[in-house]
Amino acid sequence: MNPNFVPPVNPQQIASPSRDIYAAMGQENISRMIDDFYMELEKSPIREMFPRDMRASAEKSAAFFIGLLGGPPLYHQRYGNPMMRARHLPFPINQGARDEWLACFERVLEHATERYKFPAEHLEGFRKFLHGFSLWMMNC
């Protein structure tokens, strides 16, 4: 990890995904989508970056995405301010790790409209958010 590394994105320029997504999907579908994402991560080369208990990690991540996509602020209620960059700093996240994380998400999003009722009109905006968010998490 490079302590002088500056992510190639300004976090204030990362557009949040539409909060209408939650209205279309609901909490259960968002949770299922994130569970499936974590199943992809579990099979990935970056698996070692995650805690042993992937189920707990998936639940925590689902709480974040539920709030982000327009649902109740579960992450804030359970864990406090997300401070995502600070929470990810202990893990060396380079371009390769970012690419793998995005690839895992992309495999889940490929059928998201059918499997989770993800509104098709918001997929592009959500992908753009994931690309910007993952750039901001890079630290080496």
As a whole number, mean pLDDT of residues 19-25 equals 98
Each domain of the chain, given as residue ranges in start order, spans 14-137
Q: Which H, E and C letters describe 31-94, residue by residue? A: HHHHHHHHHHHHCCCCHHHCCCCHHHHHHHHHHHHHHHCCCCCHHHHHHCCCCHHHHHCCCCCC
Q: What is the mean pLDDT of the chain?
A: 95
pLDDT-based confidence at residue 6 (cuts at 50, 70, 90): confident
- Residue 2 pLDDT greater than 80, yes or no: no
Report pLDDT for 3.
67
CATH architecture of 14-137: Orthogonal Bundle (1.10)
d(CA 128, CA 126): 5
**Percent of all residues in the chain with a pLDDT value above 90, rounded to a whole number:** 86
pTM for the model stands at: 0.94
